[in-house]
Chain A
């Protein structure tokens, strides 16, 4: 177990390193951020001074090593646009995204898994066909369009919910979160539904496929022959067996939602990190782009590791071996 962790972590270090090089070179190739930011009236002298001040006149490899050196000292750099540290910038936006993602994956899991189980359990019933039809809609209709429809219906026409933004922030234990206030919930519910639809569709289809396959498997027939009630067969035997693909996809989706909930955040004007990174790309705010993407890589590595650990819990046949 310990050896396994060490192996995985050293893999992670390599991934983060390779990623940082790719990102750095890619961002460098786009061009000089000063040319995007600078005011048209600036003199050439002002421009030269700035380029020197931000170290942009240095060769690529030197800029990269300066960056890496600072990272090792715990300094991810300062945003060129806001002049505040990238870490505090990202962490000021992170709670908003975490809230949104938490609510949306909960919606997806709480509705998606039971619906998928039912659709696989009674595949020929009308309800199952309806569920499957809806699941197709869930991941084939573009997110921004559904977001617009939700806003038009619930905010503009009915006036029940606000059209966007994050609500009042309250205290929950030692966190500050908008999930602690009613006003906060009224703001989060539409974007969370919007964000959950794709995952909902995916979870329904995955669970159903697993269920259908398992229903014909020998262990199920054997359990039936023993006279076990269906409830017990589905929840204690089948669910456990079909959990592995569900957990894998769920983990990956969780990661990508955390990092790139851009579309929903934009449509609902949600002050999360997805919007931050898009704005940074548009303004060529290099320190934010590079550091953020490196943080995302670390996030994915952690999620994948957690997923692997959960595998071992779910399926006793999975052995965690060092280094592999």
Chain B
């Protein structure tokens, strides 16, 4: 008797304890990075866009693999070479109850150059010449020249009400006074590097999201983020560190979610006539730059064992890369074979190029930009030493690396590049195209690489409005760049989320965004 009472008592207690979990309307996320401001036009930072997406909508949205889908605009068409027409979604309301229309989009585009900061959003409006509101649901954009990628650029065009006024700055947004969007959540509060608190917007056009209250906690330290999940302070974390991944995968109290990222670790060999840091054989500087020889670049490529990089160095959190974008992106070529590992052929090529005993070369990488950059850097140096090279590998903090890289002080580098827009123009225009400040190409081409054939095919693509024809040209450009080893891609990095077991559903996104409204209770 007593026993059964006790037992049922315990059962009741257990139900009581579990009940708030089941009925919970609250979601708490532990994230590596948060916004720098609540002003959606302040900065291009990825973590900024990720956070502000909850409050503001973009004109065009992207799906899990970064391909375009309707946002505040339901459709878009190029009506002539320099005019795009966007049709607005009807029946959308801002959090303060005012209606959304094309005027708000015009205002938002015009506000960007006035308020944007050192990570300028003018990047996404650089093709815009003028904006014309035809009627409340129709917007026409005149572009400077042909701009096939305008809808891609507008995936980061956040829309604020035209009543915001040109004088509103970061302070007014941070305080919440101007933090009015059309997004699934309303803004409650935020402190720099602290918590972003959000509340469900019941009038959201896409249907009200599952969670009533969402707290996005910024916890940059990997160990602290893991501890916050394990101690139950947060329900889900992003960027699970590689070192904890295996143990968390095997922990029955946790669920893990793995996805490819947009980031690829690329090696950039300088092909200038005089390499910035001398390459030496037996301590003597060689004549000319060996890296200009395609055979040498091929040898470097063939000596990389990508399976080892993925399975040993990154503990499984990566996939071998054979081009500068992940599979499925606009311009990814399926014709390119997987990058082989063949040390004998690599040695033969090096001998043929006149370096049978290898050479001594400096190799510089970042060590804190993406998970795994420093360890991959060391592993590459070891792989090349098997080829007979003497590699002076150096992994630097991004604060030191990027300014020096911009001054083109390195002979060979490795850093991560993310094709953030999901299409080739972004990556090829900045990394592979011949440096041309006038046209805005090759801004991140620090190796001096220049290939007329590539430039021609890419240029043709960037002047082709028909998406299918453009895709073909970009795929061709991918093949040209890779056969010439303009850069040597190594691995696509992967990213991991973890949550308490059996609680949440999440479809991981390739852009690594953690969208609270896309997470649902189980």
Is B219 part of the binding interface, using a Cβ–Cβ cutoff of 8 Å? yes
Q: How far is the CB of A47 from chain B (nearest CB, A)?
A: 8
By the criterion CB–CB under 8 Å, are B227 and A36 in contact? no
CB-based contact B120/A42 at 8 Å: yes
- Cβ–Cβ < 8 Å partners of B39 in chain A: 83
Q: How far is the CA of A30 from the CA of B400 in the complex (A)?
A: 7
Total interface residues on B, using CB and 8 Å? Answer: 53
Residues in chain A near residue B400, CB distance under 8 A = 30-31
The residues in A between 87 and 110 inclusive whose CB is less than 8 angstroms from any CB of B are: 89, 92
Chain A 39-57 against B: per-residue CB contact (8 Å), 1 yes, 0 no?
A: 1111111110010001000
Check if B440 sits within 8 Å of A45, measured CB to CB: yes
A92 contacts across to B, CB distance below 8 A? 191-192
Whether, in the assembled complex, B426 has its beta carbon less than 8 Å from a beta carbon of chain A, the answer is yes
Residues from 238 to 276 in A contacting B, C-beta threshold 8 Å = 266-269, 271, 275-276
Contact with B along A6-44 (1 / 0, CB 8 A): 000000000000000000000000111111111111111
What distance in Å separates the Cβ of A167 from its nearest Cβ neighbour in chain B?
A: 11
Q: A40-B444, A45-B440 are in contact. Are A81 and B231 (CB under 8 A)?
A: no
Docked-complex contact B227 and A151, CB < 8 angstroms: yes
User: Are B437 and A163 within 8 A (Cβ)?
Assistant: no
Question: B306 within 8 Å of A by Cβ?
Answer: no
With A82-B37, A84-B171, A269-B221 in contact, do A163 and B233 touch (Cβ < 8 Å)?
yes
A-B interface pairs (CB < 8 A), number = 145
Distance (whole angstroms) from the CB of A156 to the closest CB of chain B: 5
Segment 93-119 of B: residues with Cβ below 8 Å from A: 117-119
Chain B residue with minimal CB distance to A268? Answer: B224
A43 lies within 8 A of B228 (CB): no
Is B447 an interface residue, CB under 8 A from the partner? no
Residues in B whose Cβ lies below 8 Å from that of A214 = none
Within 8 Å by CB of B174, from A37, A50, A84, A151, lies: A84
CB neighbours (8 Å) of A83 from chain B are: 37, 39, 42, 117, 169-170
Q: Does B430 reach chain A (CB closer than 8 Å)?
A: yes
A263 (CB) vs chain B CBs: closest residue: B221
> Which of B312-320, B347-355, B401-409, B496-504 is near enough to bind chain A?
B401-409
A71 is an interface residue with CB less than 8 A from chain B: no
Let me know if B403 and A36 touch, CB within 8 A.
yes
| Whole-angstrom distance between the Cβ of A87 and the nearest chain B Cβ | 13
Among B118, B223, B404, B443, which residue has the most Cβ atoms of chain A within 10 A? B118
Contacts of A84 in B (CB 8 A): 170-171, 174, 192
B126 CB–A CB distance under 8 Å: yes
User: CA of A39 to CA of B221 in the docked complex: distance in angstroms?
Assistant: 24
Tell me if B221 and A36 are in contact (CB < 8 A).
no
With a CB–CB cut-off of 8 A, which chain A residues contact B437? 43-45
B221 touches which one: A159, A162, A267 (CB < 8 A)?
A: A267
Q: Tell yes or no: B252 within 8 A of A by CB.
A: no
Q: Decide if A164 touches B399 in the complex (CB within 8 Å).
A: no
Contacts of B444 in A (CB 8 A): 40
Q: How far is the CA of A46 from the CA of B217 in the complex (A)?
A: 33
Judge whether A30 and B399 touch: CB under 8 Å. Answer: yes
Residues of B within 8 A of A111 (CB): none
The 8 Å CB contact of B402, one of A36, A50, A165, A266, is: A36
A binding-site residues for B, Cβ under 8 Å: 30-47, 50, 54, 80-84, 89, 92, 148, 151-152, 155-156, 159, 162-165, 266-269, 271, 275-276, 279, 281-284
Q: 21 A–B contact pairs at CB < 8 A?
A: A31-B407, A32-B406, A36-B398, A38-B118, A44-B437, A45-B437, A45-B440, A80-B118, A92-B192, A155-B230, A156-B231, A159-B231, A165-B217, A165-B219, A266-B220, A266-B224, A267-B224, A269-B219, A271-B191, A271-B193, A281-B399
Known A-B contacts: A30-B399, A44-B437, A155-B231. Give 10 more (CB < 8 A). Answer: A31-B407, A33-B118, A35-B403, A39-B123, A42-B443, A45-B437, A80-B118, A151-B224, A267-B223, A276-B193
The 3 closest A-B CB pairs, nearest first, are A31-B403, A43-B440, A44-B437
